[in-house]
Amino acid sequence: MRRLSFATAGAILVLSLSAWAIRVGDPAPDFTGTDSHGQTHRLSDYRGKYVVLEWTNKGCPYTRKHYDSGNMENLQKEWTAKGVIWLTVLSSAPGEQGYMTAAQENSFMTKMHASPTAAILDPTGAIGHEYEAKTTPDMYVIDPSGKLIYSGAIDDHPTMDLADIKVSKNYVSAALEAAMAGRTVPVGYTRPYGCSVKYASE
Amino acid sequence: MPSGNRLFFVFALLAALLCAWAANAQEPSRAEAKAPHVTVSLLIPPAQIYPGERFTAGLDFRMEPGWHVYWINAGDSGEPPKAQWKLPAGITADALQFPAPKRLPLGPLMDFGYEGEVIFPVPMQVANDYQPTGKQATLGAHVSWLVCREVCLPGKGDLSVERDAFAASLGAPQVDAATQAEIAQYESKVPKPLPAGDAVRFRSTARGFVLDVETGTREDSAQFFPLDAMVIVNAAKQPAQPLNNGVQLSLTKDDNLQATSQQLNGVVELPTGEAYVIHATPGSLTSGGAGKVGNSGGLAGAAGLAFLGGILLNLMPCVFPVLFIKGLALVQSSQQESGRLRAHGWVYTLGILVSFWVVVAVLLALRAAGQQLGWGFQFQSPIFLALMAMLLFFLGLALAGQFEIGLSLTSAGGSLAEKHGYAGSFFTGVLAMVVATPCTAPFMGAAIGYALAHSAAVSFTVFTALALGLAAPYLLLAYNPGWTRLLPRPGAWMEVLKQAVSVPIFATVIWLVWVFARIAGTDALFGLLVAFLLLAIAGWCLGRWPAKWSSAIAAAAVLLAAIGTSVWAVRAFGGETVRRATVIFRNGSRVQGPETATEWQPFSPALLTQERSEGRPVFVDFTASWCLSCQVNERLILNRSDVRQRLHDSGAALLRADWTNEDPDITHALAALGRSGVPTYAIYPADPNAIPHVLPEVLTPGIVLDALNSLGNPPRQSARVAVQ
């Protein structure tokens, strides 16, 4: 009983000291989502692994830059092979650009040879709002202890030009490499670039 | 003949080409590229290029309604247009100049850009040693852009304009005046540097920055557009505070901003349309301020105000009876040693501090959990009100003389009384704090709003100062035994005084019961009054057989019954049906007082937006039944005939936001104004992009009339197309 009240007091203390918003270095908020195969995923399920969250919208020219060039698919293959959980998140509201049904998303992934661990369908935008996802693409990297270690742009060339991918520094790979090697992530936060996430209008 | 036909054909072709070329020459200064949803043009006003020439070219974007292009800092999403110039040797172009942008909200995001049309001026220079390579010079640009509405379309185009080129400067160069005028119009909208002598400073607060901009005149509102990304939260509101010679803006920091900013760069736009580029350095411009006390800024200032507010709280009708009780206890124990007095003082202070801390911790925890609560929220819970009313009623009975309890004043010596004394002091402190919360006195509102808007450490500091202020008078008395000698000697008058003190206690009970009845309804009120009867019975038990365990147990049992009755009454009768009835009550009739002549409508966010979109400014009165300052302001100020007349004549829509019951819409609106409690008075201008003007908590007729006068005549304008 004493342990419980201590834990409650501690929880209140922690809660009262934390800000509302997403901050690199803080624990990443837990979420529950359903993927395009109907499976449920919880962030807490993946404690102990690196998790990458990738906000996407297949109609956005910035997203297309990374998918048409194969860049995003390569990243997904490279990092899932190293045990990273890669979750693509679709927060477009029904009727907005980027909204996909489960079947549509599955066929899109097959066509583009995309291989994330799962594609989470978030048409209400709940997960997007929780993470304050602003653009597509907007990338978040979470370490095995549940801490957010990177939030922001996918790379340092905020353009729509496919040619820029070769010369861009990829922030997601940089964060994962550094964290896996036990070093501090050099760049934890950048301004994400892309089209705005098409949330349902309030 | 075939050859004749062919000749004629060639001739016709040549003629057509000539016509086309001539037609082109009639519009020489503009090269257009039509793209989906936008037409991009390159404007070169001068007809001739010669050495030493300086002119301003323009890149013109004309967009379909609802589509926009972006400012140099696009905001949360998007990219500004770019131009790569293809110019002959000797001709150089400066970077694109960006006219002052507009805020483009997009759900939870905020972008900065332009709708309709925008021309980006491009200053160009021709070198003094310019050598033309032919009869004409071709000035071209490869332009790329992003044009968006709900979706974004990238675009690019190559534009070029040909001009006659000369090797020597001309006496009378020709210029396309119309194009030049168009460019000049947008050049005037490019933000200018602040006039020399005008200062701009910023200082960091826990959650953001306070930016002071001196413009020479008092500004009611302004908007800040950052030049650097990731410094402020673009979508956050920027509450503006007029200064005597400028304006002060409160900006919210980007949560991930690590480094302390040495300079804040951006554009400040005033409601008149003027825009200034600013590079603010650390500091502050508000030493005297605009007379709004709550704006002294800084943690020390807020804490100082909170301390003062705490002292003042002792005078408010909610708290004064409690202080009075403690004062009487001091009078009683002026015979005891000073050490014990001081200890009592500190225990009382500790009681207040601890209860403040507990409440702040709970508030912060709830805030972190996403609920929206403001100070005084306890008084929106009928059960809390019922318990408070019962507690004070019981206390009043004791003071009136029905019985004696440990919390009462006449604790005659002995270790038991001392034990009671310390616990009594502690819990009297708790009681003082509990009853103080809804009385948001003038100094308090700003300090509390400031604290709750900032980090936990700031909140705790400010509330600790508040608690100390509340405890200070009693502590002062406890530390100056000499001053207790000034207090009257104990005697029969004390009994009379004690009974007299029960009067303000009962008055407070009446007030609580009134608020309870309005929230929970008359059926629940019946249950509460039955509970009061049970309390009186319990008191009689304690009084009839004093200091007997049996009577104490009996009284306790009856007390429990009383509590149970009131809680059951609230649960059974004070539910949703009452809430609906209250809504009808609010909608159908005047909420408070005899203002039958004014047209106060109940507040709702949709109504607010609708009124503003119809071109009417909106005066919102955030109030609550349990808020005494609100009642005073309404009856004495807002209800005055001249103020009422002016409100009516101003054409402003009058909305009353009744926060007696918990209402998330109202809580949200308060937070958007940077406030956390009532009273709050805000004037929302008709222009939806303009910042609401928040009036001070203590109204005077002058303040309200001035604010209404500054509205001017509201222009009737059509609704702006909101970009989603």
CB–CB contact B77 A24 (8 Å): no
Q: What is the pLDDT of residue B578?
A: 39
Q: What is the pLDDT of residue B624?
A: 85
Sequence-distant (6+) residues with CB within 8 A of B17 are: none
Averaged pLDDT for residues B475-504: 65
Two tokens, residue B33: 């590229």
Averaged pLDDT for residues B424-430: 72
CB–CB contact B150 A97 (8 Å): yes
Residue B109 near chain A (CB below 8 Å): yes
Longest alpha-carbon distance in chain B: 139
Distance of alpha carbon A122 from alpha carbon A141, whole angstroms: 18
Task: Name the residue among B108, B150, B229 with its Cβ closest to that of A129.
Answer: B108
CB–CB contact A189 B256 (8 Å): yes
Q: Which residues in A lie closer than 8 A to residue B148 (C-beta atoms)?
A: 195-196
Distance of alpha carbon A201 from alpha carbon B107, whole angstroms: 6
pLDDT exceeds cutoff 70 at B319 = no
CB–CB contact A151 B107 (8 Å): no
Least confident among B166-180, B282-296, B328-342: B282-296
pLDDT band at B713 (very low <50, low <70, confident <90, very high): very low
CB–CB contact A18 B152 (8 Å): no
Averaged pLDDT for residues B202-208: 84
What are B209's strand-pairing partners? Answer: B204, B251
**Chain centroid offset of residue B684 CA:** 12
Least confident among A1-5, B29-33, B229-233, B533-537: A1-5
Averaged pLDDT for residues B8-21: 59
Averaged pLDDT for residues B340-367: 80
pLDDT band at A124 (very low <50, low <70, confident <90, very high): very high
pLDDT exceeds cutoff 80 at A186 = yes
Residue A124 near chain B (CB below 8 Å): no
Residue A61 near chain B (CB below 8 Å): yes
Q: Which residues in A lie closer than 8 A to residue B258 (C-beta atoms)?
A: 189
Q: What is the pLDDT of residue A47?
A: 94
pLDDT exceeds cutoff 50 at B674 = yes
Q: What is the pLDDT of residue B592?
A: 39
Q: Does residue B184 sit in helix, strand or coil?
A: helix
Residue of B nearest to A202 (CA): B107
Per DSSP, the residues of B474-525 read HHHHHH-HHHHHHSPPPSHHHHHHHHHHHHHHHHHHHHHHHHHHHHH-HHHH
Q: Which residues in B lie closer than 8 A to residue A131 (C-beta atoms)?
A: none
Q: What is the pLDDT of residue A127?
A: 95
Half-sphere exposure (Cβ direction) of B662: Cα atoms closer than 13 Å: 13
pLDDT exceeds cutoff 70 at B720 = no
Residue B151 near chain A (CB below 8 Å): yes
CATH node for A21-196: 3.40.30.10
Share the mean pLDDT of chain B: 77
Q: Which residues in B lie closer than 8 A to residue A65 (C-beta atoms)?
A: none
Domain boundary assignment for chain A: 21-196
Distance of alpha carbon B231 from alpha carbon B650, whole angstroms: 39
CB–CB contact B255 A160 (8 Å): no
pLDDT exceeds cutoff 50 at B17 = yes
Averaged pLDDT for residues B516-522: 80
pLDDT exceeds cutoff 70 at B418 = no
Distance of alpha carbon B497 from alpha carbon B215, whole angstroms: 59
Share the mean pLDDT of chain A: 89
Distance of alpha carbon A21 from alpha carbon B438, whole angstroms: 29
pLDDT exceeds cutoff 70 at B413 = no
CB–CB contact B361 A12 (8 Å): yes
H-helix or E-strand spanning residue B189 = none
pLDDT band at A170 (very low <50, low <70, confident <90, very high): very high
Q: Which residues in B lie closer than 8 A to residue A12 (C-beta atoms)?
A: 361-362, 365
Residue A133 near chain B (CB below 8 Å): no
Q: Which of B86-90, B408-412, B435-439, B696-700 reaches the highest mean pLDDT?
A: B86-90
Amino acid at site B222: A
CB–CB contact A158 B79 (8 Å): yes
Sequence-distant (6+) residues with CB within 8 A of B414 are: none
Q: Which residues in A lie closer than 8 A to residue B365 (C-beta atoms)?
A: 12, 15-16
Q: What is the pLDDT of residue A34?
A: 95
Q: How many CB pairs under 8 A join A and B?
A: 84
Q: What is the pLDDT of residue B712?
A: 57
CB–CB contact A196 B367 (8 Å): no
Q: What is the pLDDT of residue B598?
A: 53
Task: Name the residue among A13, A158, A201 with its Cβ closest to that of B107.
Answer: A201
Pairing of strands B653-658, B600-602: parallel
Residues above pLDDT 70, as percent of chain B: 74
pLDDT exceeds cutoff 60 at B64 = yes
Report the complex ipTM: 0.77
H-helix or E-strand spanning residue B566 = helix B549-573
pLDDT exceeds cutoff 90 at A54 = yes
Task: Name the residue among B77, B361, B362 with its Cβ closest to that of A194.
Answer: B77
Phi, then psi, of B488 in degrees rounded to 5: -65, 150
Q: What is the pLDDT of residue B68?
A: 95
Q: Which residues in B lie closer than 8 A to residue A59 (C-beta atoms)?
A: 151
CB–CB contact A191 B230 (8 Å): yes
Q: What is the pLDDT of residue A16?
A: 40
Least confident among A132-141, B51-60, B541-550: B541-550
Averaged pLDDT for residues B577-599: 40
Q: Does residue B127 sit in helix, strand or coil?
A: coil
Residue A5 near chain B (CB below 8 Å): no
> In this predicted model, which residue has the larger pLDDT, B316 or A11?
B316
pLDDT band at B432 (very low <50, low <70, confident <90, very high): low
pLDDT exceeds cutoff 70 at B24 = no
In terms of C-beta density within 10 A (0-12 exposed, 13-18 middle, 19 or more buried), how is residue A150 classed? buried
Distance between A161 CA and the closest CA of chain B, angstroms? 10
CB–CB contact A60 B152 (8 Å): yes
pLDDT band at B443 (very low <50, low <70, confident <90, very high): very low
Q: Which spans in A18-153 are helix H?
A: 61-68, 71-81, 102-112, 126-131
Q: What is the pLDDT of residue B195?
A: 79
- In B555-677, the DSSP E strands lie at 600-602, 618-623, 653-658
CB–CB contact A196 B78 (8 Å): yes
B-interface mutation test, from A5, A14, A16, most B Cβ less than 10 A away: A16
User: Could you tell me if B540 and B402 are in contact, meaning their C-beta atoms sit under 8 angstroms apart?
Assistant: yes
- In B54-183, the DSSP E strands lie at 54-63, 68-75, 82-86, 91-93, 102-106, 109-115, 117-126, 136-148, 152-165
pLDDT band at A53 (very low <50, low <70, confident <90, very high): very high
Residue of A nearest to B458 (CA): A17
Sequence-distant (6+) residues with CB within 8 A of B553 are: none
Q: What is the pLDDT of residue B309?
A: 73
Residue of B nearest to A59 (CA): B151
Sequence-distant (6+) residues with CB within 8 A of B681 are: B619, B620, B621, B622, B633, B694, B695, B697, B699, B704
pLDDT exceeds cutoff 80 at B273 = yes
Q: Which residues in B lie closer than 8 A to residue A21 (C-beta atoms)?
A: 255
Half-sphere exposure (Cβ direction) of A45: Cα atoms closer than 13 Å: 9
Task: Name the residue among A17, A96, A189 with its Cβ closest to that of B230.
Answer: A189
Q: Which of A98-102, B199-203, B574-578 reaches the highest mean pLDDT?
A: A98-102
Q: What is the pLDDT of residue B322?
A: 62
Distance of alpha carbon A60 from alpha carbon A138, whole angstroms: 12
Task: Name the residue among A188, A191, A199 with its Cβ closest to that of B108.
Answer: A199
Half-sphere exposure (Cβ direction) of B389: Cα atoms closer than 13 Å: 30
Residue B76 near chain A (CB below 8 Å): yes
Amino acid at site B180: Q
Per DSSP, the residues of B129-145 read T---SSSEEEEEEEEEE
pLDDT exceeds cutoff 50 at B589 = no
pLDDT band at B379 (very low <50, low <70, confident <90, very high): low
User: Could you tell me if B556 and B534 are in contact, meaning their C-beta atoms sit under 8 angstroms apart?
Assistant: no
Amino acid at site B556: A
Which domains are seen in chain B, by residue range? 30-190 (2.60.40.1250), 193-291 (2.60.40), 300-501 (no CATH), 584-709 (3.40.30.10)
Residues above pLDDT 90, as percent of chain B: 21
Q: How many CB atoms lie within 10 A of CB B208?
A: 22
Averaged pLDDT for residues B359-382: 61
CB–CB contact A16 B365 (8 Å): yes
Distance between B310 CA and the closest CA of chain A, angstroms? 23
Find, among B443, B367, B445, the residue nearest to B682 by Cα: B445
